[in-house]
Every structure is written in C-alpha cells, then in structure tokens.
Amino acid sequence: MSARELPLFPLRTVLFPGGVLPLRIFETRYVDLVRRCLKADSGFGVVLLVRGAETGGPVRATAAVGTEARIVDFDPLDDGLLGLTCVGQERIRVLRAWAQDDKLNIGEVETIAPDPVEAVPEDCSALPKLLKSHWQNVAGAYPNVVTRFEEAGWVANRLAELMGLDVAVRQQLLETQDPIARLRELRTLLKVTEG
C-alpha cells in the first residue's frame, strides 16, 4: 500500500476497526483537524500516546500502529466544547510523524490490510457467548452496527474494547494481524474456558 499523509490524534486509548470513539474537542489544533476532515470528507489517525501530553503540551512518542477514524456525528456541547462521535476504520502504520507549526500532528501512514473474514474457531466458541452477554449493555454505544458474532476479527476487536484490559495489552492486540491469534490471546487473557 502506498503511503499518505494523515492528521494524527494521539490519545491514551486504543481504537479498533469498527469501534466507536466519543471525543470532546477544545484545543484549536483539534478543532482545525475536525474542520479539515469534514471539508475533505477524510479521516484522522488515532494513535496511542506513549509519552507526552494529550492536551496542551507536545507529543513525545506514539505507538507505530493505530486506526483511522471517521467522524460520523458532531455537536456543540453545553460546556462550549465540540462533541464528536468517531468510528474506527482500518488499521494504519505510522512511518514517520511530525508537528506542524500550529501543533497539529501529521503522520505519513500506510494502511494495514483488513482482517480476513474467518469464522470463530471451535476452541474459542465461548468468546462470542461472552461478548453476547455484554452486548445488550453496550449496544447503544454502537448505533447502526451490524453484529458479526461468528467472525473472529470482529469478536476479538469488540472484546478487546469492552473487557477493561490495560491499554498496553489493547495496543498489542491491535498490532496482532491474525484475527484468530488475537482471539486466542484474548481467550488466555480473559481466562475463558470452554464448557
């Protein structure tokens, strides 16, 4: 895949493809990012902030793999901030990154191939059941999402988002390119057994 420039939004969170990310924007550089994305009908990269400040200060280091996000809704909030709802698209690899004069972070990125569509293997069949048991409580946060409880990558991504895992573990899972390997890692992390 060819490299392209993408605005980056470093955060202390990990966004997965298909995941929903609510944001509250107040810094000028991120208001400009929103304006730029809406005007160009484009996305921005959400990357895990490893060192530095989410707001105000400079970004010192981010993870090399993140997810491109698209803005699907925005509203001015009562407190004067801009509320966004973003949805994760494809994973991206940041080849290099820099801050513009206006402090907006830009990355040269390449798109990582999407997960192949693979069925949940028999040894992980308890994981879709676990996800279904939580889904009714969180479904409202995923408007218009078509559930795919039979698909390994989709189940793995939703569990990685919803099960309260440490951010470094979620980043490792995001970087795992094989969806079945990601699901099996979650089975171990969550201590899920069949039966």
- Return the number of other C-beta atoms located less than 10 Å from residue 86's C-beta: 25
pTM of the predicted model as reported, rounded to 2 decimal places: 0.90
Count of CA atoms in the C-beta half-sphere (13 A) of 186: 34
Residues of the chain with CATH 1.10.4060.10: 122-189
For the chain, how many helices (H) and strands (E)? 5, 7
The ranges of the chain annotated as CATH 2.30.130.40 are 4-111
Measured from the Cβ of residue 74, the count of other Cβ atoms closer than 10 Å reads 15
Give the fold, CATH level 3, of 122-189: LON domain-like fold (1.10.4060)
Query: For residues 195 and 182, what is the distance between their CA atoms, to the nearest angstrom?
Result: 21
What one-character DSSP code corresponds to residue 121? Answer: P
pLDDT at residue 193, as a whole number: 73
Q: pLDDT (tens digit, 0 to 9) for every residue of the chain, 195 residues total? A: 689 999 999 999 999 999 999 998 888 888 888 888 989 999 999 999 987 655 555 556 889 999 999 999 888 888 878 889 999 999 999 999 998 888 888 999 999 999 999 999 999 999 999 999 999 888 888 877 889 999 999 999 999 999 999 999 999 999 999 999 999 999 999 988 764
pLDDT of residue 32: 86
How does DSSP classify residue 81? P
Q: What pLDDT is recorded for position 79?
A: 80
Provide the terminal-to-terminal Cα distance of the chain, rounded to the nearest Å.
42
What class is the 4-111 domain? mainly beta
